[in-house]
Amino acid sequence: MAENPETVLEIDLNALAHNYAVLRSRIRPETRLLGVVKAFAYGSEAKAIARKLEALGADYLAVAYTSEGVFLRKAGIRLPILVLHPQPDGMADIIETCLEPSLYSPRIFQEFLKTAQAMKQKRYPVHLKFNTGLNRLGFRAHDLDWIGSQLRATDALEVRSLFSHLAASDDLDEREFTLGQLKAFEGIVKNWEYPFESRPFNHLLNTSGVFNYPGAQWDMVRTGIGLYGYSNDPETDSLLKPVSRLRTRISQIHKIKAGEWVGYNKGYQSEGLRVTATLPIGHADGIGRHYGQGKGRVYIQGKPAPIIGNVCMDMTMVDISDIACKEGDEVVFFGDGISAEGLASRANTISYELLTGISQRVPRVISGA
């Protein structure tokens, strides 16, 4: 990598430590904390984030897919890793690398059981996911009898935890719906009859759940976005620090006369004398076309510069008419003081999508390890 690359995603592990402490302060000391590191740790850098979470004392990690967990094991991560969405063809990899699968349907349960038996496993730790209203993944309450009969017939599996996922924990207008989910989960826990002696632990809350429904923290919480500095709420956002900062540098400056066009398909026409800057970052880096046409804006010397015309694959043009700056100057998309949620919402999306979309072409520079 060049020593001083133009476009960089800076990852601040001290900010991660800060957010971890804030989230810890919101739960009971005995409640476990699972750090969600799926999708390259929300588009940051999975290895560095997982290592830091391990050092900070996280109890668990979670990834979406098996390959993400295998990657972390190869990087030397030793914490228990929950695989939220395993697929049938990766079951042996799960066992070989000591990952813990979420079993969310009869098909996946049987696929994993078959593999565990073939690999002569005894009481291999698994987690059972229940659908309480999100209607995405999970068993139903009425599957409990079937699950019980399967478990009584084998000693290959041991249920480590029961869990579910909230659909609208960030939206207080949907309080009643969420309380219904809490109740449904409570019912599942109550009706669980464990065929062995040890009791599985239970978990339900994501980041917004921790802030809005702390009474439902059960034995563990699963936090993702909060660790990275966002919480879906402006008030709690102010307690957190963004882990990622996306910055680039001005490649070239143009003076544009009235009536001139900028970018592909004449995406922007100047109404008067304007000054524009071309930036070496585009939709291939994760700044989608929906940020174009004035929706998104970047910051130069702390001042906003709107994105003009269409975002190109490798470049973006911004209007810098009101900013005194020169070629080579730093340009910030998001980071400390400039909210990724703010930029995302200007283009009708959310911080999760903007953060996880920053492509692997953008070098990651890590500090605070």
Ligand X SMILES: *Cc1c(COP(=O)(O)O)cnc(C)c1O
Interface with ligand X (CB under 6 A), residue total: 10
Tell me the torsion sign for CA atoms 145, 147, 148, 153. positive
Whether 42 is catalytic is no
Whether 264 is catalytic is yes
Closest residue to ligand X in the complex (CB): 224
Other beta carbons less than 10 A from residue 212's beta carbon:
22
Does residue 223 contact residue 34 with C-beta atoms inside 8 Å? Answer: yes
The 81-100 site mask, x for binding ligand X (CB under 6 A), equals ---x----------------
The distance of closest approach from Cβ of residue 170 to ligand X in the complex, given in angstroms and rounded to an integer, is: 8
Please report whether residue 204 would count as binding ligand X according to CB under 6 A. Answer: no
Q: Is 174 left (phi over 0), alpha (psi -120 to 50) or beta?
A: alpha
Please report whether residue 248 would count as binding ligand X according to CB under 6 A. Answer: no
DSSP string, 284-305: GGT--GGGTTTT-EEEETTEEE
The distance of closest approach from Cβ of residue 41 to ligand X in the complex, given in angstroms and rounded to an integer, is: 11
Token readout for 343 is 């930029």
Q: Which of the ranges 222-230, 254-262, 266-274, 302-310 carries the binding residues for ligand X, by CB under 6 A?
A: 222-230
Does residue 100 contact residue 80 with C-beta atoms inside 8 Å? Answer: yes
The distance of closest approach from Cβ of residue 39 to ligand X in the complex, given in angstroms and rounded to an integer, is: 8
Please report whether residue 31 would count as binding ligand X according to CB under 6 A. Answer: no
The distance of closest approach from Cβ of residue 314 to ligand X in the complex, given in angstroms and rounded to an integer, is: 30
- Name which position in 35, 224, 306, 335 contacts ligand X (CB under 6 A): 224
Q: Is 96 left (phi over 0), alpha (psi -120 to 50) or beta?
A: alpha
The distance of closest approach from Cβ of residue 172 to ligand X in the complex, given in angstroms and rounded to an integer, is: 15
The 164-183 site mask, x for binding ligand X (CB under 6 A), equals -x------------------
Catalytic residue among 114, 183, 264, 266: 264
DSSP string, 102-132: EE-SHHHHHHHHHHHHHTT-SSEEEEEEE-S
Catalytic residue among 38, 47, 52, 129: 38
**How is residue 90 annotated by DSSP?**
G
Beta bridge partners of 202: 162
Q: Give the 3-state secondary structure of residue 101.
A: strand
The 225-244 site mask, x for binding ligand X (CB under 6 A), equals xx------------------
> Which residues are marked as active site?
38, 264
Residues found near ligand X in the complex (CB under 6 A): 36, 84, 165, 206-207, 222-226
